[in-house]
Amino acid sequence: GAGFLDADFYAFQSLLTPREQESVLAVREFMEREVRPIADEYWERAECPVHLFKPFAELGTLGSGWAETAGDETSAVFRGWVGMELARVDSSFCTFIGVSSGLAMSSIGMGGSPEQRARWLPAMASGDVIGAFGLTEPLAGSDTARGLRTTATRHGDTWVLNGAKRWIGNATFADVVVIWAKDTADGQVKGFLVRQGTPGFTATKIERKQSLRIVQNADITLEGVEVAEADRLQRIDGFRDLAKVLRVTRDGVSWQALGTMIGAYEAAVRYTAQREQFGNPIASYQLIQDKLATMLGNVTASLGVCVRVAQLQDEGRQTDAHAAMAKAFVTTRMRETVALARESCGGNGIQLDHGVARYFADAEAVYTFEGTKDMNQLIVGRSITGHAAFV
Ligand code: FAD
């Protein structure tokens, strides 16, 4: 029917405005029509359907949180819900869109001057410009707060960047990459808008990934890359400002994890209803029903957490620990759920054709990026005890 998620057991959808519900339905139809039929093929070939960026942008949901681009839908619950709809069909597609509209647009929206926001946000919302976000490095993953090696040195109105980045989504084709680097003068982390093709900037695709294969991740080298002072994010001065960006985007990953588990759950419901063993559909057996009930419980609890953390974001009351708890909790429930879905499909559960294997594999990267489970637990632990266990 025209309803929302069957997996929305406690009817959280009613928290969206009628206008937001319409937009979510349009996103859902787009994903079913354009992405579901090609997802397994693109995943197997490790290719990204970059040609779908612009048509997706035309639905008008990108950058709904910024004054420069906002339409009628502006709530964090709405933005999260859209991300969930993407991941429910393909978690890679959610990352592909989210790296630009979440990480890169949030960096510019929260860290840019009014001129920088006006220059970039409308162009990114309309799909004319694709963004990427370069924080992680070969030698700095969980400890980017203190461990960044990439440097920025100012000479008059020009900055010179040197260093390397790793895992940077979209960076091989993005028009603009937000590069985070340490100022050699004051030691503070600053953000720079580096355009594709700038001399000294090289992005090389990371091959042979076994998770989120559709996402194109890159190793980046920066060798004497010159960036104008006008392209330094003017309202970022230190890791504290970057952490505010990550707090918001971490919520987005919680919604992505939720979508990933819903996709696996739905496939398991379908499969177990039609698969017969011992003369009956396996869905009629108690042990299969126990797994399905556990999966739906995980989805329902996670949806409640995602909705509430988004509301706190909208109310301006969200802390790092709020976002960290959501990410750690929901990704843990996701990992259990995709494994139960995989198990319920037996041998066919490990093959792409039966609708579960892609979610099962993709969950691993979602579990690790934007702060591993460990790091997010330690952020919550710090807020409980007052002791930072990771510095
Ligand atoms: P490490 O930090 O080396 O961690 C390895 C293990 O050690 C983990 O289990 C971790 O929890 C544990 N550990 C580390 N420190 C501690 C500690 N103090 N106490 C206890 N345990 C600890 N980054 C970007 O900047 N931009 C992107 O677009 C991007 N996209 C990504 C896409 C994919 C598919 C992947 C896999 C990663 C992406 N990343 C991106 C990087 C991602 O954010 C990092 O992989 C993540 O932060 C973890 O860092 P790491 O891989 O270096 O692991």
Q: Give residue 1's pLDDT band: very low, low, confident or very high (50, 70, 90).
A: very low
Any ligand 1 atom below 6 A from CB of 259: no
* pTM greater than 0.80 (yes/no): yes
Q: Give residue 4's pLDDT band: very low, low, confident or very high (50, 70, 90).
A: low
State which ligand 1 atom lies nearest to the alpha carbon of 215: 34
State which ligand 1 atom lies nearest to the alpha carbon of 390: 18
Residue 103 reports pLDDT greater than 50: yes
Any ligand 1 atom below 6 A from CB of 144: no
- The fraction of the chain above a pLDDT of 70, given in percent, is 99
- The fraction of the chain above a pLDDT of 90, given in percent, is 94
Q: What is the pLDDT of residue 268?
A: 96
Q: What confidence tens digit (pLDDT) does each residue in 220-232 have?
A: 999 999 999 999 9
CA of 82 to the centre of ligand 1 (A): 25
Distance of CA 248 to the CA centre of its chain: 11
Alpha-carbon distances, residue 323 vs 10, 146, 228, 311, 313 (angstroms): 22, 20, 34, 12, 9
158-169 and 217-228 beta bridge pairing: antiparallel
Any ligand 1 atom below 6 A from CB of 167: yes
Alpha-carbon distances, residue 197 vs 149, 175, 194, 201, 218 (angstroms): 22, 9, 9, 7, 15
Q: Whose C-alpha lies nearest to ligand 1, atom 14?
A: 142
Residue 2 reports pLDDT greater than 50: no
Q: What is the pLDDT of residue 100?
A: 97
Q: What confidence tens digit (pLDDT) does each residue in 53-88 have?
A: 999 999 999 988 888 987 777 899 999 999 999 999
CA of 191 to the centre of ligand 1 (A): 20
Q: What is the pLDDT of residue 65?
A: 84
CA of 144 to the centre of ligand 1 (A): 9
217-228 and 201-205 beta bridge pairing: antiparallel
Q: Give residue 145's pLDDT band: very low, low, confident or very high (50, 70, 90).
A: confident
Any ligand 1 atom below 6 A from CB of 34: no
